[in-house]
Amino acid sequence: MKLYYTSRTVLFLMCMGNEAFFLFLYAFYHVDASSVYMPYIKWSILVTTPVFIAKQYISVIQWSVSASKIAQRDVDERSRK
């Protein structure tokens, strides 16, 4: 997580890879299966899938940490009343 937020290059590559994954999924759906581009689209999906999975994993960690902090803050505020 620290590398994700401290390295602009890593952050850029993760975001770009995630968006590329969705772009290639869109192309896979809309491009004819007999198209000359289909092998490249399939290969690109395979290459960007690990980035997509890693980005989703990081998002779940962020959500979990944020939810815990919000819940703890709520408990602290209620205990002061």
Distance separating alpha carbons of residues 37 and 28, to the nearest angstrom: 9
Confidence category of residue 2, pLDDT binned at 50, 70, 90: confident
The residue behind tokens 């809309």 is 30
Q: Look at residue 8 in the predicted model and tell me its pLDDT.
A: 95
DSSP 19: H
pLDDT tens profile 8-66: 999 999 999 999 999 999 999 999 999 999 999 999 999 999 999 999 999 999 999 99
Can you say how many angstroms the Cα of residue 65 is from the centroid of all Cα atoms in its chain?
16
Q: Is residue 81 over pLDDT 80?
A: no
What does the block give as tokens for 73? 């803050």
- Quickly list DSSP for 28-80: HHHS-TTSTTHHHHHHHHHHHHHHHHHHHHHHHHHHHHHHHHHHHHHHHHHHH
